[in-house]
Amino acid sequence: MGKVWVWFIWILAILLLVSSGITYRVLASHLKLVFDTPISLPVPLSALPAQIGNWVGRELAIPTTTKEYMEKNFADDFLTRRYVNAATGAWADVYIVYCSSRPGGILGHQPLVCYPANGWVHDGTEPSQFISRSGRQIPCLIHRFHKPAPAYQQTVVLNFYVLNGQLTADENDFSGLFGRRPNIAGDPARYVAQVQISSVLENSIRTAAKDMTDLILDFLPDKNGRVKAEVRGQRSEIRDQKSEVRER
């Protein structure tokens, strides 16, 4: 009887080990799938209008290495576009990146990381703010960079972040535990997004930020998880459907 009991314990232990191994592999496979699958916004950033007021935009080509870098740093969606003001001739590059599957991945996209990595020398950063067209006060950072001779260039970068619908210019707000935890639930309203506007002149980026920010924010979930661009799209579809009914 004692030997039978010993064999039973051994068999039970082996079964438990096999079962735990299978469970671990299934869980690991599920987590890998979660981490490797981008979380989609209700309305993609690419749907941001190419014309905003006097600003007319065109997509900027993204090198393969840059795209790989962005994906490696958990960019679930991004947009990079150059806008030119038809009235003044001023231009500004608009870069928006949305990180939700791993919110803390946004730290890999901050100007103080990506600009020096591409040969730019950091000249200084200062906290600032601007007022959007709707009168909203937006905190931001103004970064200045240059490239040494012989390819001497200068650029000024305005950037700020949106954390779960709340505006911030303080990276400490999302660099702790919140940023390290993966978004296993796949909730698109749990995120950090960066809005970055750059040009050679500070006046250009401030004017562009003032004119475009309200619309940009409409594409990101607000603090209640609502995306205004999605609501507008639904209303537009309803109007189109009613129009089709009337035409029939």
Tens digit of each residue's pLDDT (9 = 90 or more) over 81-122 = 999 999 999 999 999 999 888 877 777 778 998 899 888 999
Sign of CA dihedral 223, 224, 225, 231: negative
Q: What is this structure's pTM?
A: 0.78
pLDDT of residue 16: 66
Q: Both tokens of residue 48?
A: 């941001």
Gyration radius from the chain CA atoms: 24
Residues with pLDDT less than 50, the chain: 23-24, 26-34, 235-248
Q: What are the residue boundaries of the structural domains of the chain, listed by start? A: 1-36, 42-243
pLDDT of residue 248: 42
Interatomic CA distance for residues 106 and 161, integer angstroms: 9
pLDDT of residue 2: 56
pLDDT of residue 152: 87
Burial class (CB in 10 A: 0-12, 13-18, 19+), 17: exposed
pLDDT of residue 231: 80
Q: Say how many C-beta atoms besides its own lie within 10 A of residue 182's C-beta.
A: 16
For residue 61, give every residue at least 6 positions away whose Cβ sits within 8 Å of its Cβ, in sequence order, or none: none
The string of pLDDT tens digits covering residues 161-181 is 999 999 999 988 887 655 556
Q: Give the residue among 223, 216, 189 at the shortest CA–CA distance from 100.
A: 189
Q: Which percentage of the chain shows pLDDT scores above 70?
A: 71
pLDDT of residue 243: 43
Q: Say how many C-beta atoms besides its own lie within 10 A of residue 193's C-beta.
A: 28
pLDDT of residue 219: 97
